[in-house]
Structure formats: C-alpha cells, structure tokens
Amino acid sequence: MLILAIESSCDETAAAIVKDGRELITSVVISQIEKHKKWGGVIPEMASRFHLEEIDSVLKLCSDEASQKIPGFNIKDHIDAIAVTNGPGLTGSLLVGANAAKTLAWLYTKPIIPVNHLMGHIAANYIGTEIEPPLLCLLVSGGHTQIIRVDSYTSIEVIGETVDDAAGEAFDKVARLMDLPYPGGVHLDKLVQSITALGDFATDLDYKFKIPDVPGLDFSFSGLKTAALRLKEKIGTEIWDRDKALIAKAFQETIAEFLALKLRTAVEQTKYKTVIVAGGVAANSSLRRRLSEEFANENLYYPPLRLCTDNAAMIAAAAYHLEATKDLGFEVFSR
C-alpha cells in the first residue's frame, strides 16, 4: 500500500510517500527556518503564507522523486490513499495542508486519512525498522514535551507533559539570552560540544541549575529559563559572555537529567522495554549521552534526524495503521 502524505502543522512544508508504513519511497521537506529567523521565532500568519507558496512545488518534487524509484509513477495509478496532519498545530498552516490533501483526494478519487501529528512523530520510528508497540515515546520538540505510552499502533496515551514551556522552547529562550541565532537549541548544543571536546574544566564560578520539582511524570521548564535569566542579571553581561559555554553545558545537562529521570519512572510504571525518542531536541548531545547510559538495558531508539524533526513520511507511516475515509469533511483542529 502506497500512501502520499502532507504535513504543514508548523514551519515545515512536507510531502512524502511511504510503502506499507515501513518503506520510505520519498520525503521532501522545505523548512521555513531561514524565513522566520529575522523574527527570532515562527510567526503563525507568515507560516501559513509560506506553506501556500511552497505546497505545490513540494508535491511536484515528491512526485518527481517517486518517478525515479517507480517507473511511470503517477498519483492516480500508484497511490492508494492521501494522508494529512489534521492537528495539533498552527490552524492556518494546517488548513493549507488539509486543503491540498482534500483537493488531491477529490481529484483522483482517493480515500483520505487525517493523522494526529503526535502519532506521526511516534510512527517515524517504524520507518526502515522492525520496531513495534508496546513502547514509550519521549517527544521533545519546540512545541511538545511529552511522555507517550504507545499501547498499539492506533492507541496512545500522553502520560506526562510539560505544564508550561516545551523543552525546545526553553533551549531557544536561553539561547536568545546568549545572543545565539534561531533555532537556539541547535546553536546552544554546538557551543556545549565545542567545550566538551576540550574536556571538563571549570572557572572560579561553578554553574548549576536545580532540577525542577514537578509531581508525577509531568515537566516544567519555565523555572529553569527564569533561573538562567536571574543568573545573567547576577553575574553581569561580561562574565555571562565569558562563561556562556559553561552555563549552556550546565543548563543542557540539567534538562537531559530531568528528562531521563522522568522517563525512567515511566519505564518502571509501564514495564515497557522499548523507548523511542522523537522531536528536534532528540538531537541534543547531552540528552543522547544521558539516555544511552540510563537505558543501556532497554531498547533505546532514535529515528534518523531527518525523520526526528517534522516531516511527512512519519504521517504516511502513521496513516498506514489508521482507517481511510471517502468523506472529505474531517475536522482540522489546533489543539
């Protein structure tokens, strides 16, 4: 079964084709990051306009790439269903993808499969692997920080989540305090890696952040962000700038520790032996190191980076297990 999927929930316009939920045929992602850089973050109204500008060329590219693998490829003869992210995400952005998907489904009389974005991040792990539920998923991105219990391909439950900022948001906000470019988490991690490569060293100031005290499996990151701001005010810009790599390291390691501890509790509660990590923050070097120590005895898996961040292949993979409908009246929602 070949599914063509569209993803446009945030700042990536994407289309992909996946066979039987596991085999990647093609995946095209056009990121808006460069366009949003000048504002230091994603402006929802601009994001939807950019999706509208890109959606047709992304679909054309996806189709052209499929022709290289499947001789004579065309949507009408080869695609079995159209999938599309119907939420959560930025409403205007979701509408662009949903509209394109409905148009294709109507034009080629194909069934349509609306897909929850979180289900997509989980399904990214099924592509090119033999991973199967039950499992636990840590989803850490600019918009989400959640521990999701995945009981089957179609049944998931969020068992822990942030009560305020997402982990990626905390990285981005502290990176901004360090005058690092957007998306901050990436650059903050680079800074940390530049000193980690030199080995441990310390200045006269020992930087430490307290692990937030949040009940159960929930998270909170706004206190950490405020602690960083207070630290900057206390030590002054000059020392902050001098020691910013050390501060970034302490900040990033605290987040990694926090995520690892909560995930450990979730593993103990559920007794699930497979742990997968998804979302942009899954690329973080401290998080990867900490999780590989913590889960040395479980099956720990990260999808390749291009499947970790927003893409449409994960939507196609998730759709494979969901029911298709001929009814184009599905709901598009923002939360």
Chain residues that interact with ligand KG4, rule: CB under 6 A: 10, 141-143, 168, 171-172, 183-186, 189, 279-281, 283-284, 309-310
Query: Which range, of 41-49, 136-144, 189-197, 314-322, touches Zn ion by CB under 5 A?
Result: 136-144
CA distance 295 to 163: 25
CB 123 → Zn ion: shortest distance, Å?
Answer: 12
**Closest residue to Zn ion in the complex (CB):** 310
Residue 212, both tokens:
């937030």
Q: Is 65 in the site for Zn ion (CB under 5 A)?
A: no
- Residue 2 or 177: the one with the smaller Cβ distance to ligand KG4 is 177
169 binds Zn ion (CB under 5 A): no
Return the bridge partners of 325, or none. 112
Candidate residues 7, 189, 253, 310; the one interacting with Zn ion per rule CB under 5 A: 310
Considering the complex, what minimum distance in angstroms separates the CB of residue 178 from Zn ion? 25
Query: Which CB sits closer to Zn ion, 230 or 306?
Result: 306
Q: How far is the CB of 141 from Zn ion (least distance, A)?
A: 5
- Taking the complex as a whole, the smallest distance from the CB of residue 115 to Zn ion amounts, in Å, to 12
Query: Closest CB to ligand KG4 among 110 and 121?
Result: 121
Give 18 or 246: the residue with its C-beta nearer to Zn ion. Answer: 18
User: How far apart are the C-alpha atoms of 193 and 209, rounded to whole Å?
Assistant: 19
Smallest separation (angstroms) from ligand KG4 to the CB of 31: 9
What is the radius of gyration, based on Cα positions, of the chain? Answer: 21
CA distances, 174 to each of 32, 92, 121, 234, 240 (Å): 22, 28, 25, 15, 12
Comparing CB distances to ligand KG4, the nearer of 114 and 183 is: 183
Query: Total residues at the site for Zn ion (CB under 5 A)?
Result: 2
- Which of ligand KG4, Zn ion, none does residue 21 bind to, with CB < 5 to 8 Å depending on kind? none
Residues at the contact surface with Zn ion, assessed by CB under 5 A: 141, 310
